[in-house]
Structure 1
Amino acid sequence: MSRTTRITQVATVGIHVTDQQKAIEFYVDKLGFEVRRDVPFGDGRWIEVAPPGASTTIALVPGGVPAGIRLSTRDADTDHADLVARGVDADAEVLRMGPAAPPMFAVRDPDGNSLILVESS
């Protein structure tokens, strides 16, 4: 059994916002961040912002979508199997939401904090 995951970086920290447009105005107009991603997602949008040059982004997550820390992994299926085998509290299966979203799953640390592993290409 592998003792190393394929996690490569802290990619995105998701925070819940009540109004994505107001959140964009705050982060971009007030803090000077740039919009890195703004794409359709379910019934809404998936929006990520970051300071210029930063590698980690902040996702402006609408209600109903899990917020939290997203980690990039090279292989969600293999990491899922390895972590479950090690007794990590993980989702029952890797989530696949179609071509618009990469494979992903969540794990919980001993305090119940969620970390979402998202496969990156």
Structure 2
Amino acid sequence: MQMTTRVLSVALPVADMDAAVAFYVGVLGCEVRYDVEAVPGVRMVEVVPPGSQVGIVLLPPDSPVPIAVRLGTSDADAAYARLAATDGVVLHNDEVLRWEGVPPMFHFSDPQGNSLVYLETSKPA
């Protein structure tokens, strides 16, 4: 089973959201893909270089939203089960999260401690 379909985004912690957005848009030439309140009180901005599919998610350093590399998967449940059986992987959710308007997803750390999130991007044909 091919679990990872693509890199969706990379999250970075930023202390000053407005200054960070001004830099990524005004200096680096990125476009704002979205600017939302991800959870109450937490602003989340995704910027993307022109022509790129991969976004950069800007989050406050103390965000409850994981500062992680976000990966696509065709089957979040199968990916969760496979990672649950893999030594050294830490699952940060008790199950695949299913919230209205958001694809099924879960947060985990690889054996080196890097923070990753899987989001289901499509079902296999």
- Fold shared, TM-score > 0.5 on shorter chain: yes
Query: Match of 1:45?
Result: 43
Matched residue SS, 1:39: strand
The TM-score, its normalising length taken from structure 1, stands at 0.83
Residues in 2 aligned to 1:109 and 1:93: alpha-carbon distance in whole angstroms: 17
**2:14 maps to amino acid:** V
- Off by >4 Å, runs of 4+ in structure 1: none
List per-residue Cα deviations over 1:34-63 (Å, max 9, x = no partner): 111223311233211111001111000123
RMSD: 1.8
Q: 1:51 to 1:26 in 2, by over 3 A?
A: same
Task: Report how far residue 23 of structure 1 moved.
Answer: 1.0
Query: Match of 1:111?
Result: 112
The TM-score, its normalising length taken from structure 2, stands at 0.81
Matched residue SS, 2:111: coil
Matched residue SS, 1:49: strand
Matched residue SS, 2:100: coil
Q: 1:101 to 1:88 in 2, by over 3 A?
A: farther
List per-residue Cα deviations over 1:48-93 (Å, max 9, x = no partner): 1111001111000123222021101122112101221344514232
Query: Match of 1:57?
Result: 55
Query: Match of 1:93?
Result: 95
Query: Match of 1:13?
Result: 10
Residues in 2 aligned to 1:46 and 1:5: alpha-carbon distance in whole angstroms: 29
What runs of 5+ residues in structure 1 fail to find an aligned partner? Answer: none
Identity of aligned residues (%): 44
Residues in 2 aligned to 1:10 and 1:68: alpha-carbon distance in whole angstroms: 11
Work out the number of aligned pairs and report it: 117
